[in-house]
Amino acid sequence: MKRIVFSIILIIALLGFSATTWSGNEMPHTEPAMEFRTGWNLEPSGMLSVGYDLNHNGRSDFFTVRIVLDKYITTESIETVARYHPNHPVFRVGYGADGFYYITARYPLFYAVDVNEDGAWDVLYKDVLEDGVNGNEELYDRPSGGFGALPVS
């Protein structure tokens, strides 16, 4: 019990009390705004992760992980490609005039927390219904093994 309480207090101290961070030990109530995005990466699993800086210190502490639905190269702009895929996030890598585009699922399948911002995800939640952050996320794993489970309310 002491370990869970300590983990919760540590997370609150690390993340601060802004509206886009956890309130106590809960997940954010919505997916973070793009202005908090620190970058994105195609993972070895083929899924696309997006890092966010919720405590505004320049390091990623929260991640969303989406399934990649489609990918292709085109000379069209990201705005044009986004119109072809409404309600799906579009990510672009530039190759001169061409762009390599990744079209992802509307909502993430996983949400990851890097409590100590060391680059290793500490807690991983799965959104079984892929319906966005709404409280039905389930603890999936503790990949780093260093932190206890954080309850989702």
Residue with the larger pLDDT of the pair 11 and 69: 69
Residue pair 44/52 in contact (Cβ under 8 Å)? The answer is no
pLDDT exceeds 70 at position 73: yes
The total domain count for the chain is 1
Q: Is residue 16 part of a domain?
A: yes
Q: Cα–Cα distance between 119 and 110 in angstroms, integer?
A: 16
The answer as to whether 61 is a domain residue is yes
Residue 12 confidence (pLDDT) above 80:
no
Residue 150 pLDDT class (50, 70, 90 cuts):
low
Task: Specify if 93 maps to a domain.
Answer: no
Hey, what amino acid is at 78?
A: I
Q: Is residue 94 part of a domain?
A: no
Q: Flag whether 148 is in a domain.
A: no
Cα dihedral 54, 62, 47, 73, rounded to 10, equals: 20
pLDDT of residue 135: 85
Pairwise pLDDT comparison (151 vs 101), residue with the higher score: 101
DSSP string covering 19-40: TTS-STTPPPSSPPPGGGEEEE
| Confidence grade of residue 9 (pLDDT, cut at 50, 70, 90) | very low
Confidence band, pLDDT 50/70/90 cuts, at residue 4 = very low
Q: pLDDT tens digit string along 84-138?
A: 999 999 999 998 889 999 999 999 999 999 988 998 999 899 999 999 988 889 9
| Domain presence at residue 149 | no
Does 87 map to a domain?
no
Q: Tell whether 130 is covered by a domain.
A: yes
Residue 139 neighbours by CB distance under 10 Å: 13
- Name the pLDDT band for 148 (thresholds 50, 70, 90): low
Q: Return the beta strands (E) in the chain as ranges.
A: 37-42, 48-52, 62-66, 68-74, 90-95, 98-104, 110-113, 123-126, 138-141
Residue type, 15: L
- The H-or-E segment that residue 12 falls in is helix 2-15
- How far apart, in whole angstroms, are the C-alpha atoms of residue 126 and residue 129? 9
Query: What does the pLDDT look like over 16-72, one tens digit per residue?
Result: 433 344 433 346 778 898 888 999 999 999 999 999 999 899 999 999 999 999 999
Which tokens sit at 23?
């309130």
Structure-token pair, residue 9: 């207090």
Q: Which residues pair with 37 in a beta bridge?
A: 52
Task: Note down the domain range covering 29.
Answer: 2-67+105-141
